[in-house]
Amino acid sequence: MGRPKIARKSTNIDMTAMCDVAFLLLSFFILTTKFKPAEAITVVTPNSVSSKPAPEKDFVLVTIDKDGKVFFSMDDENKKAFIAESINNTKNLGLNVNAFKKAGFIGAPFSQLSQFLAIPEDQRKGAALPGIPCKDSANNEMVEWFRLVKSAYGGQKVNLLLKGDNSSKYPAFKNVVAALKKNELFKFQMVTNPESAPTGSELYKKQMSGEKSN
Amino acid sequence: MAEMDTSGGGGHKKGPGVKKAKKLSTRVDLTPMVDLGFLLITFFIFTTTMSQPTALNLYLPKDTDKPEEQNKAKESGAFTILLGKDNHVFYYEGILDNSNASTNFKSANFGSGDDGIRSAILKKKSSTNPQDFVVVIKPSDDCEYKNVVDILDEMAINVVKRYALVDISDIEVQLINATEASAPK
């Protein structure tokens, strides 16, 4: 079996190497992608045209879930310890300061706070928790929480964030805002999902002409 | 790499009458696989960076009981938006009283069409002196948080400089309840 002598050059390129690279990159991205951890409180945030990213540090986050339950969280552990101590001093609850420091969020009235902290972190699920009471102005514990935040931060800059669920009713929001006002905290931010300005609207024209929106 | 050796060892000759079976190429075209791979890579690159939440700023006014410290709004420039349940929006211009309730009190929706709240805001905005124009937002207890954010967003979209969140009055709640049934979605 003789082979033909003319060496014909093939136009086929060996795709194997490229395929290898592609899948190597693919597996790298799949493995390094940090999936959002399952959140203890499920909240679907509304959309807005705001293009400012939400602050990731020095924040105090108030979450309102779809049933109107209010949860409180903040990132600075030192300030949290300060808050836990001042709660212990003023209300004599005997809280475990370390557990308070490590808690991802707070979702119980002051009277049940120590029981709340006794629940293991991974078993605190928003749906089963009572939330912080702020249903009416007479028993609005958020006022107390914001007062603590204010004293913990002193004059420092704090980012107040409010994260509400699409279908939560307005009164919950109103009561949180009322608590903010009582503490003379007049500036806060609402966490939303980004959305582009509708074509043809005034903001759209502004953005197109290169003007910066806030 | 992507081929397999199918020559079957040695290459010893078969008998003179035996015809050699045609060898099929085992070479696989990997182009679609590479395409798919890169498509997925692009997908993952985009999805990992784009889900950053944003924040919408809201400045609250200071509550004051003294009338001289309160902000005055001219009647001609006032535009009040009421938020009802099931995504209903109602609006009126100036002051609402018994004499004009039937004609001044109108309903709208969150759409961008002709009966949407956006066109109503723009209409009012274009017909008012910019210095007097102020939007008053009154969410009722039945409306959802989403509606509040949507209407605040509408202020940003339409570049309304002055707006305020105000508590709703009983008369307005009654008017909403009365008109809700016939209001467009």
Query: What is the tens place of the pLDDT at every residue in A183-212?
Result: 887 888 888 888 777 777 777 777 777 655
CA-CA-CA-CA torsion sign (B95, B99, B101, B103): negative
Q: What is the pLDDT of residue A192?
A: 82
ipTM (interface pTM) = 0.72
CB atoms B54 and A193 under 8 Å: yes
Residue linked to tokens 């102020």: B134
Question: How many C-beta neighbours within 10 Å does residue B51 have?
Answer: 10
CB atoms B167 and A174 under 8 Å: yes
Q: Which residues pair with A192 in a beta bridge?
A: B54
* Best CA proximity match to B176, nearest among B144, B142, B151: B142
Type of residue found at A118: A
Q: What is the pLDDT of residue B35?
A: 86
Distance of alpha carbon B72 from alpha carbon B55, whole angstroms: 29
Domain range annotation of chain B? 73-180
**Counting every residue, how long is chain A?**
214
Chain-centroid distance, C-alpha A163: 7
Distance between terminal CA atoms of chain A? 79
Query: What is the tens place of the pLDDT at every residue in B117-167?
Result: 888 888 888 888 878 888 888 888 888 888 888 888 888 888 888 888 888
Q: What is the CATH number of domain B73-180?
A: 3.30.420
A92 domain-assigned: yes
Q: Where are the beta strands (DSSP E) in chain B?
A: 54-59, 78-83, 89-93, 106-108, 134-139, 163-165
pLDDT at A24 over 60: yes
Give CA angle at B105 (B102, B111), nearest 5°: 135
Residue linked to tokens 């400089």: B161
A24 domain-assigned: no
A204 domain-assigned: no
Q: Residue B80 is encoded by which pair of tokens? A: 């009040």
Give CA angle at A105 (A175, A164), nearest 5°: 40
User: Would you give the DSSP letter of residue B144?
Assistant: B
Q: Which residues of B touch A161 (CB under 8 A)?
A: 55
Distance of alpha carbon B4 from alpha carbon B83, whole angstroms: 70
**What is the percent of chain A where pLDDT is above 90?**
0
A159 domain-assigned: yes
Q: What is the enclosing helix (H) or strand (E) of A149?
A: helix A141-153
| Residue B77 contacts residue B132 (beta carbons within 8 Å) | yes
Q: What is the pLDDT of residue A37?
A: 60
Q: How far is B68 from chain A (nearest CA, A)?
A: 20
Structural domain for A165, as ranges? 47-194
Instruction: Give the number of domains in chain A.
Output: 1
CA-CA-CA-CA torsion sign (B118, B121, B126, B129): negative
Query: What is the tens place of the pLDDT at every residue in A133-145?
Result: 877 766 777 888 8
A126 domain-assigned: yes
Sort residue B8 into left (φ over 0), alpha (ψ -120 to 50) or beta. Answer: left
Distance of alpha carbon B89 from alpha carbon B106, whole angstroms: 9
A203 domain-assigned: no
Q: How far is B103 from chain A (nearest CA, A)?
A: 28
- Parallel, antiparallel or unpaired: strands A187-194 and A159-164: parallel
Interface probe with A: pick from B64, B138, B149, B167, most Cβ of A within 10 Å: B149
Q: What is the pLDDT of residue A214?
A: 46
Low-confidence ranges of chain B (pLDDT < 70): 1-19, 48-52, 62-73, 98-102, 181-185
Q: Which residues of A touch B41 (CB under 8 A)?
A: 22, 25-26, 29
Distance of alpha carbon A90 from alpha carbon A93, whole angstroms: 8
| pLDDT band per the 50, 70, 90 thresholds, residue A213 | very low
Pick from A161, A168, A189: which is nearest to B145 by CB? A168
Q: Residue A9 is encoded by which pair of tokens? A: 């050059």
Q: How far is A88 from chain B (nearest CA, A)?
A: 31
| Residue A72 contacts residue A145 (beta carbons within 8 Å) | yes
Pick from A16, A51, A170: which is nearest to B145 by CB? A170
A72 domain-assigned: yes
Whole-angstrom CA distances from A183 to A164, B61, B184 are: 20, 12, 40
Per-window interface: B 60-89 vs A, CB < 8 A: 60-63, 83
What mean pLDDT is predicted for residues A35-47? 72
Q: Which residues pair with B79 in a beta bridge?
A: B93, B135
Type of residue found at A80: K
Distance of alpha carbon B185 from alpha carbon B116, whole angstroms: 10
Give the mean pLDDT of chain A: 78
Q: What is the pLDDT of residue B120?
A: 83
Q: Least CA distance to A193: which residue of chain B?
A: B53
Q: Residue A37 is encoded by which pair of tokens? A: 């951890």
Q: What is the pLDDT of residue B10?
A: 47
A21 domain-assigned: no
Q: What is the pLDDT of residue A134?
A: 77
Distance between terminal CA atoms of chain B? 63
Tell whether B41 is within 8 A of chain A (Cβ): yes
pLDDT at A103 over 60: yes
Question: How many C-beta neighbours within 10 Å does residue B93 have?
Answer: 20
What mean pLDDT is predicted for residues A99-128? 77
Q: How far is A87 from chain B (nearest CA, A)?
A: 28
* 3-state secondary structure (DSSP) of residue A71: strand
